[in-house]
Chains A and B, each alone.
Chain A
Amino acid sequence: QKEVEQNSGPLSVPEGAIASLNCTYSDRGSQSFFWYRQYSGKSPELIMFIYSNGDKEDGRFTAQLNKASQYVSLLIRDSQPSDSATYLCAVFISAGTASKLTFGTGTRLQVTL
């Protein structure tokens, strides 16, 4: 079973619409959950993180976490062409001094004019 699963897409939404990106994870010990954006050939860029059940809003972005369902999502409101990128879901686990962030394969988002 994959540790972090995402639909690879592409997810195509028109400009101004809401884009909904989903992610599931397998390890119930996961402690923090992240959404990164990655443009082709570039490094992951943090959008937001969440560690408690519920919603967290930051500007046009809302992250949702449901630990019972092992599910994380990202909503992007008023999508813009500049939002077109690959969105990476990642989960952080630590135990003692050992820690790692595990990424999903990413969902490619295309915002069309």
Chain B
Amino acid sequence: EPEVTQTPSHQVTQMGQEVILRCVPISNHLYFYWYRQILGQKVEFLVSFYNNEISEKSEIFDDQFSVERPDGSNFTLKIRSTKLEDSAMYFCASTQPGHPSSGANVLTFGAGSRLTVL
């Protein structure tokens, strides 16, 4: 079964450092997403991406965050200057367009990247 692959699985960084989290979405999917989950809290939407541009973003997704699809397969989340409160699990997800009856809008999630900011 196709899957979304995320790397690294765990990254520890110092406050103020830049971090790049990487994702390889399912190959025929066209919509890509990043979510985060702070320990013990809900899964929160960060950003959605379609046709090489951001289609929607949350209030959390401020100027410290950016996303990019540098080639035909990777989808990255960059945090420019990490803060302690950025410590969380970050999930990448993807889906295909279409009618729900075809399975569209069903997000497949990667295993996540745990970010620890010290």
Name A104's closest neighbour in chain B (CB-CB): B42
A-side interface residues, number (CB < 8 Å): 26
B91 touches A44 (CB 8 A): yes
A100 touches B33 (CB 8 A): yes
Cα distance, A31 to B89, chains bound together (Å): 27
B56 touches A44 (CB 8 A): no
Q: Which of chain A's residues have a CB closer than 8 A to the CB of B43?
A: 38, 44, 88, 103
B-side interface residues, number (CB < 8 Å): 26
B100 touches A49 (CB 8 A): yes
A32 touches B100 (CB 8 A): yes
Q: Which stretch in A14-22, A69-77, A90-98 binds the other chain? A: A90-98
Cα distance, A13 to B91, chains bound together (Å): 30
A98 touches B106 (CB 8 A): no
Cβ of A34 under 8 Å from chain B: yes
Q: Which of chain B's residues have a CB closer than 8 A to the CB of A88?
A: 42-43
A43 touches B42 (CB 8 A): no
Cβ of B45 under 8 Å from chain A: yes
Cα distance, A99 to B109, chains bound together (Å): 15
* Chain A min CB distance to B116 (Å): 13
Cβ of A42 under 8 Å from chain B: yes
A106 touches B42 (CB 8 A): yes
Q: Which of chain B's residues have a CB closer than 8 A to the CB of A61?
A: none
Q: Which of chain B's residues have a CB closer than 8 A to the CB of A96?
A: 55
List the interface of chain A (C-beta within 8 A of B): 31-32, 34, 38, 41-46, 49, 51, 88, 92, 94, 96-106
Report, nearest first, the 5 A-B pairs whose CB atoms are least far apart.
A98-B56, A51-B100, A103-B43, A43-B109, A97-B55
